[in-house]
A and B are shown apart, each in its own frame.
Chain A
Amino acid sequence: SQQGEEDPQALSIQEGENATMNCSYKTSINNLQWYRQNSGRGLVHLILIRSNEREKHSGRLRVTLDTSKKSSSLLITASRAADTASYFCATDGGGFKTIFGAGTRLFVKA
Chain B
Amino acid sequence: DGGITQSPKYLFRKEGQNVTLSCEQNLNHDAMYWYRQDPGQGLRLIYYSQIVNDFQKGDIAEGYSVSREKKESFPLTVTSAQKNPTAFYLCAIRTGGNEQFFGPGTRLTVL
Contacts and interface: CB of A to CB of B under 8 A. Distances in A.
A88 interface: yes
Nearest to A92: B98
User: By DSSP majority rule, is chain A's interface helix, strand, loop, or mixed?
Assistant: strand
A105 to B, nearest CB: 8
A40 interface: yes
B31 A96 contact: yes
A1 B98 contact: no
Given A1-B59, A97-B48, A100-B42, A43 B94 contact: no
A102 B103 CA distance: 19
Contacts of A45: 99-101
Nearest to B103: A42
B99 A96 contact: no
Nearest to A1: B59
Interface residues of B, number: 28
Interface residues of A, number: 23
A97 B100 CA distance: 11
A52 B4 CA distance: 31
Of the candidates A43, A48, A90, A92, the one having the most CB atoms from chain B within 10 angstroms of its own CB is A43
A20 interface: no
A45 to B, nearest CB: 5
Given A1-B59, A41-B104, A45-B99, A96 B50 contact: yes
The 9 closest A-B pairs by CB, nearest first: A42-B102, A100-B43, A100-B42, A102-B42, A43-B102, A45-B99, A42-B104, A42-B105, A101-B42
Interface of B: 1, 4, 31, 33, 35, 40-43, 45, 48, 50, 58-59, 88, 90, 92, 94, 97-105, 107
23 contacts: A31-B98, A33-B99, A33-B100, A40-B88, A40-B107, A41-B1, A41-B104, A42-B1, A42-B92, A42-B102, A42-B104, A43-B43, A43-B90, A43-B102, A45-B101, A90-B100, A92-B98, A96-B48, A97-B48, A98-B45, A98-B94, A100-B35, A102-B40
